[in-house]
């Protein structure tokens, strides 16, 4: 199991009942829900870092519909194949509200899953989610922190998984052991095309994702495509709120969603697997 590092001095943090402490006396409270905030302020307001409450709530509402469960399960299976050893340490970088984190933890009982996100609202939600899982999850470890400055020692992790989150060549290669795996989940060109067709007069496909990952070897790419039925406009609007189109769409176009009762959406994902050099 990995130790979190002190964000101030970089020493190992020791877990007590109510806090994490380093040997230099820096102390970080464990929240009532069981996570720790390791985000140092550096002049910014940590309350405002990352996704806000509404975004987290919308995403969680949508994900609870189960529309992306096939993706979570496929990624979980892949992680299990890539990290077969007992006690594997898997970092879910940019884990958001923890939906995927908890699916991985349920599927991979022998592994430890570390969910890190810069959004306190996200981690708070993830902690509730983990606590409400039945049977109990004891292998989820959550901290508020930056995916670009992960609170772990170098060369310790067996895998880093990043789902619709920013990707860091330097930081992910730093925390992974040599031969460790980086799994990047991103939307494929056709993803959500019918939603865009509803919103735009001229819908377009997503641009292919390009990653500059010089410290990794690209070992494999998997694709997952299926159709999910969104049954009601509330779920559809929650989906809309978590996409980049939300910010690019006029109110008039967005109001077209009001009259939609159900919609079949194309789910198209790309799962890329890289090996740390
Ligand atoms: Zn310290």
Q: Per-residue pLDDT tens, the chain, 277 aa: give them.
A: 999 999 999 999 999 999 999 999 999 999 999 999 999 866 556 566 778 888 889 999 999 999 999 999 999 999 999 999 999 999 999 999 999 999 999 999 999 999 999 999 999 999 999 999 988 899 999 999 999 999 999 999 999 999 999 899 999 999 999 999 999 999 999 999 888 888 888 888 888 888 889 999 999 999 999 999 998 888 988 898 888 788 888 888 888 888 888 899 999 999 999 999 9
Cα(25) to centroid(ligand 1), Å: 6
pTM to 2 decimal places: 0.94
Cα(246) to centroid(ligand 1), Å: 40
Which among 150, 29, 262, 130 has a CA at the least distance from the CA of 159? Answer: 150
Cα(142) to centroid(ligand 1), Å: 18
Cα(6) to centroid(ligand 1), Å: 5
Name the strand (E) or helix (H) holding 82: helix 69-82
Cα(21) to centroid(ligand 1), Å: 7
Cα(29) to centroid(ligand 1), Å: 13
Contacts of 241 by beta carbon, 8 Å cutoff, 6+ apart = 54, 55, 58, 59, 62
Cα(269) to centroid(ligand 1), Å: 40
Distance CA 179, CA 276 (A): 5
Cα(8) to centroid(ligand 1), Å: 5
Which among 45, 47, 17, 46 has a CA at the least distance from the CA of 32? Answer: 17
Residues surrounding ion ligand 1 at CB below 5 Å: 6, 8-9, 11, 22, 24, 26
pLDDT at residue 48, rounded to an integer:
66
Domain chopping of the chain, boundaries: 44-276
Cα(19) to centroid(ligand 1), Å: 13
Phi, psi of 219 (to 5 degrees): -100, -30
Cα(33) to centroid(ligand 1), Å: 23
Cα(171) to centroid(ligand 1), Å: 20
Cα(100) to centroid(ligand 1), Å: 30
Question: Contact 165/90 with Cβ under 8 angstroms?
Answer: no
Cα(263) to centroid(ligand 1), Å: 51
- 93: region left, alpha or beta (phi > 0 left; psi from -120 to 50 alpha): beta
| 1.10.3720.10, 3.40.640.10, 3.40.50.620, 3.40.50.150: CATH of 44-276 | 3.40.50.150
Cα(152) to centroid(ligand 1), Å: 13
pLDDT at residue 232, rounded to an integer:
86
């Amino acid at each position: 199991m990995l130790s979190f590092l002190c964000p101030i001095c970089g020493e190992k943090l020791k877990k007590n009942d109510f806090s994490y402490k380093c040997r230099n006396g820096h102390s970080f409270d464990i929240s009532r829900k069981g996570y720790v905030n390791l985000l140092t302020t550096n002049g910014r307001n940590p309350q405002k870092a990352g996704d806000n409450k509404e975004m987290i709530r919308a995403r969680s509402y949508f994900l609870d519909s189960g529309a992306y469960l096939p993706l979570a399960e496929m990624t979980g299976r892949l992680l299990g194949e890539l990290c077969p050893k007992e006690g594997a340490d898997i970092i879910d970088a940019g884990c958001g509200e923890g939906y995927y984190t908890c699916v991985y933890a349920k599927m991979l009982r022998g592994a430890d899953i570390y969910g890190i996100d810069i959004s306190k609202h996200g981690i708070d939600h993830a902690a509730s989610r983990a606590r409400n899982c039945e049977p109990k999850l004891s292998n989820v470890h959550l901290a508020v922190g930056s995916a670009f400055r992960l609170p772990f020692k170098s060369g310790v992790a067996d895998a880093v998984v990043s789902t619709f989150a920013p990707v860091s060549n330097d930081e992910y290669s730093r925390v992974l052991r040599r031969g460790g795996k980086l799994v990047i989940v991103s939307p494929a060109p056709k993803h959500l095309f019918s939603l865009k067709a509803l919103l735009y007069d001229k819908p377009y496909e997503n641009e292919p994702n390009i990653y500059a990952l010089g410290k990794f070897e690209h070992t494999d790419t998997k694709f997952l495509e299926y159709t999910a039925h969104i049954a009601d406009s509330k779920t559809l609007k929650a989906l809309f709120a978590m996409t980049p189109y939300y910010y690019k769409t006029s109110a008039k176009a967005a109001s077209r969603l009001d009259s939609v009762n159900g919609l079949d959406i194309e789910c198209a994902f790309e799962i890329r697997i890289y090996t740390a050099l």
